[in-house]
């Protein structure tokens, strides 16, 4: 029993500063691997396209590179920034003061043993309170709060542009190659001129672009709505939970 207690205390001591802390998260590795795969798929499809090597193609690759580098830059920014509430390090209390402060201060975190700001919330994954806590993002292995929220939004928007650009480029390549085969129909041109490998890459790219694109646009719209309301994702979920609880309580009272 004593061993379990000490293990729990040790776990609590590991406070994550940012998403670049070692070891990397499983979803963080998956995100990096997926992004590299998407770039490889783009370049492979580009090589199938009949306009490959032309000046116009160099231009589209340059635009794609700028968008990809922006995604990487914002990803590192979101992951590298430490979003911890600054009061946590400033007002760490001794064990004697703990109980007094806990009872008298509504903005006190017993896990961090410190005063915290009103909109801070404790993240159990990172073991620290985050200033204006939005959510814990498994993909960047870091919490999203006041300090990195703007970079998180820029990451979300550039990622959406990236996937839409990729999908549009694939559709463009399909149409461009088909128009080069003027005597054949669109489907016949691909039936005879494109290898099975190219079909696999084209299909994969279109599926990923559509599925991920819809998901990202949905996320963009949610965060635009939250920005308009001036609340965080966490506060939005808390308000939904409160409404739900009120409705349930109302139902219980009316049933009595």
Catalytic residue IDs: 137
Task: Give the shortest CB-105-to-Zn ion separation in angstroms.
Answer: 13
How far is CA 22 from each of CA 95, 102, 117, 141, 217, rounded to the nearest angstrom? 30, 32, 28, 10, 31
Q: 166: which 2 tokens? A: 């990729």
Any idea what DSSP says for residue 25? P
What distance in Å separates the CA atoms of residue 173 and residue 168, rounded to the nearest whole number?
9
For residue 55, the minimal CB distance to Zn ion (Å) is: 47
For the chain, how long is the longest CA-to-CA vector? 87
* CA-wise closest residue to 42 among 207, 205, 209, 208: 205
Distance CA 120, CA 118 (A): 6
**d(Cα 251, Cα 13) in Å, to the nearest integer?**
43
Which stretches of the chain are DSSP H helices?
A: 2-13, 26-48, 55-80, 86-90, 95-104, 149-180, 186-193, 196-229, 233-255
Q: How far is the CB of 14 from Zn ion (least distance, A)?
A: 12
Burial of 11 (0-12, 13-18, 19+ CB in 10 A): exposed
Asked if 19 and 145 touch (Cβ cutoff 8 Å), the reply is no
- Contact residues for Zn ion, defined by CB under 5 A: 109, 111-112, 122-123, 125-126, 129, 136, 143
Neighbours of 141 (CB within 10 A): 24
By beta-carbon proximity to Zn ion, the closer residue of 44 and 117 is 117
Give the Cα separation of 136 and 27 in Å (integer).
12
- Taking the complex as a whole, how short is the minimal distance between the CB of residue 235 and Zn ion, in angstroms? 16
Instruction: Quote the least distance from Cβ 30 to Zn ion, whole Å.
Output: 17
Looking at the Cβ atoms of 120 and 209, the one nearer to Zn ion is: 120
């Amino acid at each position: 029993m004593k061993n379990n207690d000490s293990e729990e205390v040790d776990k609590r001591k590991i406070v994550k500063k940012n998403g670049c802390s070692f070891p990397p998260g499983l979803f963080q590795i998956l995100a990096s691997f997926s992004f590299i795969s998407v770039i490889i798929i783009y370049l492979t499809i580009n090589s199938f396209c009949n306009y490959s090597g032309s000046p116009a193609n160099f231009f589209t690759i340059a635009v794609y590179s700028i968008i990809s580098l922006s995604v990487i830059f914002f990803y590192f920014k979101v992951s590298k920034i430490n979003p911890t509430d600054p009061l946590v390090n400033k007002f760490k209390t001794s064990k004697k003061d703990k109980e007094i402060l806990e009872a008298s201060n509504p903005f006190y975190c017993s896990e961090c043993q410190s005063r915290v700001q009103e909109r801070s919330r404790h993240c159990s994954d990172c073991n620290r309170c985050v200033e204006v806590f939005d959510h814990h993002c498994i993909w960047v292995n870091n919490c999203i709060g006041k300090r990195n929220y703007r970079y998180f939004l820029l990451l979300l928007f550039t990622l959406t542009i990236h996937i839409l650009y990729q999908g549009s480029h694939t559709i463009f390549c399909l149409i461009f190659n088909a128009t080069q085969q003027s005597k054949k129909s669109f489907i016949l041109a691909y039936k005879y001129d494109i290898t099975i490998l190219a079909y696999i890459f084209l299909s994969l790219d279109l599926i990923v672009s559509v599925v991920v694109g819809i998901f990202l646009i949905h996320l963009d719209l949610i965060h635009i709505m939250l920005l308009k309301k001036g609340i965080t994702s966490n506060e939005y979920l808390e308000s939904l939970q409160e409404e739900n609880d009120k409705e349930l309580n109302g139902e219980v009272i009316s049933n009595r």
